[in-house]
Amino acid sequence: MSEAVLDIQSLRKTVHKGKNIVEDVSFKMHKGEILGLLGPNGAGKTTTIRMIVGLIKRSSGSVSINGTDMDEDSQTCKRQIGAIVENPAFYDYMSGWKNLQQHARMAIDPVSDERMQDIIKLVQLEDAIHDKVKKYSLGMKQRLGVAQALLHQPSILILDEPTNGLDPKGIRELRDYLRELADQGISTLVSSHLLSEMQLMCDRVVIMEKGRLIDETVIGELDQSDEQKVCIVAFQCRVDQIQEAKALIEADSEIELLHIEKEQTLVLKLHEATIPDVNKKFVEAGIDIYAIERKKTTLEEKFLSLTNTRNMTDIKEVQS
Amino acid sequence: MITLIQNEWIKLWSKKRTWIFALFILLITIGIAFFFKSVIFDMDAANDENWEQDLEEEIAVQEEIMADEDADEWQVENAQMTIQQNEEMLASGINPNKTNNMIFLEETFPFLASFITLFSVIVASSIVSSEIDDGTMKHLLIRPYPRWKFITAKLITTVGFSLSLIVVLLVSNLLIGTILLGTGSLSTEIMVNNFETTPYLSTVGEVLPARVGLYVLNVLMFIIISFSVSILFRSQTLAVGIGIFILFGTNIAQSFNVLLADTSWYQYIFLPHLSLPEYAIRDEILPGVGLAFSIMVLSVYALVFLGACFTYFQRKDFAE
Ligand SMILES: Nc1ncnc2c1ncn2[C@@H]1O[C@H](COP(=O)(O)OP(=O)(O)OP(=O)(O)O)[C@@H](O)[C@H]1O
Ligand SMILES: [Mg+2]
């Protein structure tokens, strides 16, 4: 493993009445890595990010960027960071272009107009860039936020819920772009409460709940051991064949039938590698399958069991 | 630092409000000029050779009032003042109906400048707090500059705004004054009446530059107070409110001056000192309180306000 570009050691934030809203959070991010910070609402993701970028003081703990301690030389550290914290906000009485210019001027290394054009093209705001930000939609603002964070060519990107307000196409583009940046050696810390998204976007995920880190998962490792990977898949058949299908599954000890939805969908827990076999089995038995849908993945299950929250069930939707 | 000031300047003038303020100063100056020409100064009377006679007639009328046993005390005082003034004018040959651009500027500056104070208070109160409210401040604070530089740039920009409005006022006033009322020179003689000593003769050149210079210091103090209050109390509204209160308060303070002049503490309050332009026509605003003392008191307040607000801003947690 290469040297950590971002090294967070035992971060803690104590608010009034001695309550710790972030406690003992430590993690490292490596060069070219996309690291997910996952947690339900109120877990302390934004608070952690605010402490990293210096918007709020750390009650204790340290942050170092490329080996430089934030307390010793915050200017050097901040030069290397590009960030969106919570919703990106802009001067809505100015155009997108003028907003970016404000940031371009603040960059220590000069930002050329060409660079601005490139970035704008990348986030696909060419058509609207000279309109007042007032007229932008949420997704357009999010794109402008990404452009702004990238403008000064930081080596570390910190994005707090960047997919908020983006349409599936926008999310995919962001994902592809972050991957491209990662290949160029730029590391990204991205927070989200949507696991499915994290899984597609990140190399590794750290999971937070109630201010603490509760787990760390390398997504790539999971993908490599596909044989072992257990997942939950829904097979939809006809109502009149459901009993037949059920009997077929119950005969197989490898597969666990979790429940039946709407009298026509079998929700199964099985090894990922066996999905085609199960399908074949249905077909051979003359059972017509209308849809196969992957429900939760193991990481999702893990996340759910760890964080134990109900409001995470919206996860399955965004599988763009 | 220069880039930060440049950014602030661009943001300020990208707002419609700023242009409305400048336009207002321009229009009200022109409006006042027409008002002066048609109502205050009777242009026919200016060409009237009998102005000396008119003054004498007025003296006669006032003498009757003084002789009247039923007259109130204030009427007598008023009459006395008018007589003195008229006699002085007769002695030095000043036609009160004659006017020119210099007299116009001298006489209207305090009134017109009070609008600049008002607008400066509004800008100073909102330049930091509006960015905090809109959420754009966090995008500034994560850039590699120490926090104090951002608010210093904002403070300097506000001062620049006030100075620009003063220039607009002076230039437009001189132009419209010249067009409507004719050219005068700095040596134009005027009567100075400060309601304390007997009216005395002076020239525009002696009074006006002092008035403008002192006004600049005065408005600087207003800016510092509103700016600091808006940051310390995190409230734009409160800061504007306090600024306007002080603006009117200084006029009210002048009536307290007589009442409280003898108390030992009153001269250490900043309120009475905030009518610095008064020093253009008198040496003391309170018994024993001269310009040097006023400036000293105001400087101490300015340092305390700025010290408190910079320290606070430097340490503040930005978690909005
Ligand atoms: N200044 C503060 N004082 C007290 N409590 C706070 C403060 N700021 C945040 N909190 C609390 O800390 C917790 C973590 O908040 P944070 O914004 O970091 O969560 P998050 O993980 O970003 O959640 P979300 O997914 O909703 O954005 C919340 O319960 C919040 O109420
Ligand atoms: Mg958050």
Tens digits of residue pLDDT in A259-286: 788 888 888 877 777 888 888 888 888 8
A235 has a pLDDT exceeding 60: yes
- Closest Cα to atom 12 of ligand 1: A21
Q: Which of B10, B14, B319 sits opposite A56 (nearest CB)?
A: B319
pLDDT value at residue B86: 74
Find the A85 Cα to ligand 2 centroid distance in Å.
8
* pLDDT in the model for residue A131: 92
Residue ranges of chain B whose CB lies within 8 Å of a chain A CB: 3-4, 6-7, 10-11, 14-16, 134-136, 138-146, 315, 317-319
Q: CA-to-CA distance for B222 and B199, rounded, in angstroms?
A: 30
pLDDT for A222 beyond 50: no
Is A91–B139 a contact, with Cβ atoms under 8 angstroms apart? no
Q: Specify the higher pLDDT residue, A232 or B176.
A: B176
* Residues 6 or more apart whose Cβ sits within 8 Å of residue A220: A203, A204
Cβ-based contacts of B18 with chain A (< 8 Å): none
- Give the start-to-end residue ranges of the domains of chain A: 4-221, 230-295
- Residue B130 pLDDT > 80: yes
Q: pTM of this prediction?
A: 0.80
Q: Which residues of A touch B149 (CB under 8 A)?
A: none
In this prediction, residues A197-226 reach a mean pLDDT of: 74
CB contact under 8 A, B142 and A54: yes
Would you say residue A67 has pLDDT above 50?
Answer: yes
| Nearest-by-CA chain B residue for A15 | B317
Q: At what angle do helices B236-260 and B101-134 cross, to 10 degrees?
A: 140
- Average confidence score pLDDT of chain B: 83
Mean pLDDT of A165-173: 84
> Which token pair is B77?
């005082």
Using one digit for the tens of pLDDT, what is the confidence trace for B197-256? 666 777 777 788 888 999 999 999 999 999 998 899 887 788 888 888 888 877 777 777
Q: Are A237 and A245 in contact (CB under 8 A)?
A: yes
Average pLDDT along chain A: 83
Closest residue in B to A56 (Cα) is B317
Q: Coil, strand, or helix at residue A140?
A: helix
**pLDDT at residue A310 in the model:** 38
Kindly report which listed range (A149-158, A225-234, A245-254) carries the lowest average pLDDT score. A225-234
Residue A81 clears pLDDT 60, i.e. is over it: yes
As residues whose CB is below 5 A from the ion ligand 2, the structure lists: A 46
Best residue for ligand 1 mutational test, from A47, A195, A312 (most atoms within 8 Å of Cβ): A47
User: Which residues on chain A are in Cβ contact (under 8 Å) with B138?
Assistant: 55, 85-86, 89
pLDDT surpassing 80 at residue B128: yes
% of chain B exceeding 70 in pLDDT: 88
User: From atom 10 of ligand 1, which residue's Cα is the shortest distance away?
Assistant: A21
Q: What is the pLDDT of residue A122?
A: 85
* A185 neighbors A155 (Cβ within 8 angstroms): yes
pLDDT at B195: 62
Q: Do B14 and A78 touch (CB under 8 A)?
A: no
Size of interface A-B (CB pairs under 8 A): 69
| pLDDT in the model for residue A52 | 93
Q: Give the mean pLDDT of B84-112.
A: 76
Comparing CB atoms, the residue among A53, A56, A89 nearest residue B135 is A89
> Angle, to 10 degrees, between the axis of helix B16-35 and the axis of helix B101-134?
160
For residue A104, what pLDDT is reported? Answer: 92
Angle (deg, nearest 10), helices B147-181 and B2-14: 50
Instruction: Name the band, by pLDDT with cuts 50, 70 and 90, for residue B46.
Output: low
Question: Residues B274-301: pLDDT tens digits?
Answer: 888 878 777 777 777 788 888 999 999 9
Instruction: State whether A89 and B138 contact (CB < 8 Å).
Output: yes
In chain A, the percentage of residues whose pLDDT exceeds 90 is: 28
* Helix extents (H) in chain A: 45-53, 74-79, 96-106, 113-122, 138-150, 168-183, 195-201, 219-224, 242-250, 275-284, 298-307
Smallest Cβ–Cβ distance between A91 and the set B11, B317, B318 belongs to B11
Per the CATH hierarchy, to which homologous superfamily does domain A230-295 belong?
B family DNA polymerase, N domain, alpha/beta motif (3.30.70.2250)
Residue of A nearest to B1 (CA): A106
When pLDDT is cut at 50, 70 and 90, the band that residue A320 belongs to is: very low
Res B209: pLDDT: 86
Burial class (CB in 10 A: 0-12, 13-18, 19+), A15: middle
Overall average pLDDT of the B68-74 stretch: 74
Q: Please, which residues 85-104 of chain A have a Cβ atom closer than 8 Å to chain B?
A: 85-94, 98, 102-103
Residue of A22, A52, A59, A91 for testing the chain B interface, max B β-carbons within 10 Å: A91
Pick the CATH number of A4-221 from 3.90.1720.10, 3.30.465.10, 3.40.50.10490, 3.40.50.300: 3.40.50.300
A74 to chain B, any CB pair closer than 8 A? The answer is yes
Check pLDDT > 90 for residue A298: no
Instruction: Measure CB to CB from residue B138 to each of A55, A81, A93 and give the nearest one.
Output: A55
Residue A78 pLDDT greater than 80, yes or no:
yes
Q: Is the pLDDT of residue A305 over 80?
A: no
pLDDT digits (tens, 9 = 90+) for B148-188: 999 999 999 999 999 999 999 999 988 888 888 777 777 67
